[in-house]
A = this chain, B = another copy of it.
């Protein structure tokens, strides 16, 4: 969901952006007008997230999935050590780990036998390698509802983070990272643009694999200001409006406060349901964005009834991912607090009717 104020601005500017007589969809990406939109969006992102100037920002197509490949391609080529460590805490980091096998020697550093993606083991138990080229983690796992509440200590190993699903929902300790990237469609705009924030030390192409598709070369894209070819102009423009809206609302703390409020509301309702509802993820790493839960420890019949009743009451998309089942509520920036309050009320009523 996007703020209605953002949609209304897009609507008002659809036939003519400012007094240009052109829709943003019609602008050349090299026109003065479009470059202004692009540069303002970058500036606003830097301001809001406090991105230091030695971090460069790319805006690329292909989603987080293309970055799953771009990360090892840019960091494990030529003279680089092929070792790379992956903290696999859910479906997305697992996909990224599997992709890295094409290009290097990735290691999943958690003992997966002890975890069904419901917890993040203490870092003292991670099998990280001090000579790895990078350490990778997914800050928030959408399917499994596992979110880091800390930045992993990588002891000098470059740290890479996929923040696709909790980007722009809380402050980020940029300086601890070599690369942070995020498809922006969850919290910051329509699908079609992925933000990649890179410490300039990792540009220059020194560790780029010779088989890197030119589109995926961070160094090439940086030198071309993310315009080696035509970028996803319209998605970047809407992202810019969303950033502007965020600034007007007071910045990142606006979304951070709302995220905490919404997730507290929902987890409290679950925790105070006398076990009718339960959340499988350990409290230390519960996601503020995606809340998986079950009814009566996995009563599928009742869960199906819940989904049916919820749909009738206007709550959609509450089914858990087909790979994990159960139920799941998503609380991205676009979801208003009163939407969560109504969901909690619905859940309480459902419990009253069906608890035996």
Is A283 an interface position by the 8 A CB rule? Answer: no
Chain B CB within 10 Å, residue with most, of A2, A62, A210, A212: A62
Whole-angstrom distance between the alpha carbons of A61 and B215 in the complex? 11
20 A-B pairs besides A8-B15, A192-B234 with CB distance below 8 A are: A2-B25, A8-B14, A10-B14, A10-B25, A11-B14, A61-B192, A62-B215, A63-B215, A63-B229, A65-B228, A66-B215, A95-B214, A102-B211, A185-B230, A191-B230, A191-B232, A191-B233, A192-B235, A213-B213, A232-B235
- Give CA–CA (A192, B192) in the complex, Å: 7
A213 touches B66 (CB 8 A): yes
The count of chain A contact residues (Cβ–Cβ below 8 Å) is: 53
Residues on B with beta carbons closer than 8 Å to the beta carbon of A216: 66, 69, 213
**Residue among A10, A29, A192, A211 with most chain B CB within 10 A:** A192
23 interchain pairs, CB-CB under 8 A: A8-B15, A10-B25, A26-B334, A61-B62, A61-B63, A61-B232, A62-B66, A63-B215, A63-B229, A66-B213, A66-B215, A68-B214, A69-B213, A69-B215, A69-B216, A73-B213, A99-B213, A102-B212, A103-B211, A185-B230, A191-B230, A192-B234, A211-B211
